[in-house]
Each structure stands twice: as C-alpha cells, then as structure tokens.
Amino acid sequence: MPLLSSAQRVVSGMRVSGKLHLGHLHGVIKNWIALQHQYQCFFFAADWHGLTTHYDDPNIVKANLYEMVIDWLAAGVNPEMATLDCGTLNFGGDDIFINTENDIKYFAEKMNKLGVRYEMECFEKGHIDTTLRFIKKGVIKNHLHYSFVLGVRGGMTGEERDFLFLKDSIPSNATYSVAGIGRYEFSLAELSIKHGGHVRVGLEDNIYIKKGVLTKSNRELVEKVVNLANKYGREVATPQDTRRILEMEIK
C-alpha cells in the first residue's frame, strides 16, 4: 500500500512565546481547522523556538504551552491522537516533569469526549500501574497504546530487563512502542521489533548514528531502524497500516 505523497500532508507550527490573540485565530487557526478536513495534518508547538524570546525563564514557555494548546482545542483544532503522560518524573537537575493523577484523569476524560486516541507515555513501572488503575475505573478506554520512554535521567534505564519488565506489565490486548534515549535508541528499537512492538526514533531522543558519530539527519536514524525491521522480517507500517494497528478509522 503506497505511502501518502507529500502533497497530501500539511505540517505547521506555532511558536510558544505568549498568549494567543485574534491574529493567531484569523491568520493561522481558522486555516488549520479548514485544512484538517482536507489533508493529513501535523500541527506542533514550537517550544524550543519560544526560548528565543524567553531564554532566561523557560517556565514561561511551559505555562504558555498549556494555554496555547487549550486554545487550539477550544477553537476547533481536532487531533486524532495525542500523548497522555502517565506520571511525574525527575528530569535531571531541578527540572520536574509534573503529571499528577488529577492531570491524567482530566486529560483522559477530555480526550475521550473529543474522540482523541491516546498514546500513554510511561517512563517507569509506576506510570503503567497508574494507567491500570484508570483502566479499571473506566477513565482510560480502548484502544490501549503505550509508549515506553527509557533512558531519561530520573526514569528507568533502557536495559533489556527494563524493557521486558514494562512489556510484561501492560494488558495483553495493548500495543506498544519504545523510545530509547541516547545510547539506548537502537538497542531498544531492536528489542521492540524482535518482540513484536513498535519504535519511535529521531533527533528528539538521540543525535548519534553510532558511538561518537553525529547523525546527518532524522532520515539516517529512521533508515537504520528500517534495516533492523528488515533483519527480523517486520514490514514497515504505512499510515493506513498504523490506523489498523491502533484501531483508528481508515481514511
């Protein structure tokens, strides 16, 4: 099944530098709302770009990000899938990645109402336990898709034992992908492919194609994972295949 051509996709972002105003609504968001019904759209919050304005206080960017995304949803931008972070985590130094149980419940309920499929991002076993409690209460619903993010300072490491522990802790009807941070990217990718899972790969997680050698591009990282998939006889999913895997409407 052929991949969508680039002419059928729209990629657009917005810098996280302050509160939205009427210029954003009429200049960008109304166009996004129209485009989302015609094309496969990828809208992103350019938070690193926001630091060019508030480099001295990154907390301003965090606050603006939350408000900006809420405004997108309120205006009618309707994502089909979004990340649901499933717990709080130390992120190195003084940084804390805060996701309280009430936060998780709030976003899960909003996503359910809007029909947004969630990717449950888990950095350690306790995060999976949180999802299991919410599944039992009916807050988190099918389809269950997990993303194991391993190797973050403050979270679980990315050794084989860690991967297997998380994989064996999720419901049997769930699907999962793995994101290995830094040196764990390709070893975890191979483990996930070998065990029937899926892979996230890219410069957000790792900048080296091999030890000590900077990658030239995201493409180079993706090609290396495609070669791993070929090694184990795993066919790379098309967008339509991915929709079937995640039990999403085929378009």
Question: Which amino acid type is present at position 160?
Answer: E
pLDDT averaged over every residue in the chain = 89
Percentage of residues in the chain having pLDDT higher than 70: 92
Let me know whether 121 and 230 are in one domain. Answer: yes
Query: What is the structure's pLDDT at 188?
Result: 98
Query: What is the structure's pLDDT at 76?
Result: 86
Question: Can you give the residue range of the structural domain that contains 109?
Answer: 79-245
Question: Which amino acid type is present at position 184?
Answer: Y
The yes-or-no verdict on residue 40 having pLDDT over 50 is yes
- What are the tens digits of pLDDT across the range 50-101? 556 666 676 777 778 888 888 888 888 888 888 999 999 998 788 888 899 9
Per-residue pLDDT band at 4 (split at 50, 70, 90): very low
Let me know whether 185 and 237 are in one domain. Answer: yes
DSSP β-ladder status, 117-122 and 81-85: parallel
Q: Confirm if 150 and 180 have CB atoms less than 8 A apart.
A: yes
The yes-or-no verdict on residue 226 having pLDDT over 90 is yes
Query: What is the structure's pLDDT at 3?
Result: 40
The yes-or-no verdict on residue 1 having pLDDT over 80 is no
Q: pTM of the prediction?
A: 0.80
Number of domain units in the chain: 2
Domain assignment present for 250: no
CA–CA separation, 16 and 13 (whole Å): 9
Per-residue pLDDT band at 2 (split at 50, 70, 90): very low
Token couple for 81 = 């899938």
- CA-closest candidate to residue 201, choices 245, 217, 121: 217
Task: Compute and round to an integer the Cα radius of gyration of the chain.
Answer: 19
Let me know whether 85 and 62 are in one domain. Answer: no
Peptide bond into 143 cis (omega under 30): yes
The yes-or-no verdict on residue 36 having pLDDT over 90 is no
DSSP character for 6?
G
Query: What is the structure's pLDDT at 17?
Result: 77
Per-residue pLDDT band at 5 (split at 50, 70, 90): very low
Let me know whether 23 and 130 are in one domain. Answer: no
DSSP character for 80?
S
Token couple for 148 = 């194991």
For residue 54, what are the contacts with CB-CB under 8 A and spacing of at least 6?
A: 17, 60, 61
Let me know whether 241 and 136 are in one domain. Answer: yes
The Cβ of residue 68 has, within 10 Å, a number of other Cβ atoms equal to 21
Mean pLDDT for the stretch of residues 112-128: 94
Let me know whether 65 and 87 are in one domain. Answer: no
Q: Where does residue 61 rank: exposed (0-12), middle (13-18), buried (19+ CB within 10 A)?
A: buried
- Is 162 in a helix, a strand, or coil? helix
CA-angle at 222, arms to 219 and 227, nearest 5°: 125
Let me know whether 206 and 148 are in one domain. Answer: yes
The yes-or-no verdict on residue 47 having pLDDT over 90 is no
- CA-closest candidate to residue 205, choices 245, 162, 160, 147: 147
Let me know whether 126 and 223 are in one domain. Answer: yes
The Cβ of residue 200 has, within 10 Å, a number of other Cβ atoms equal to 20
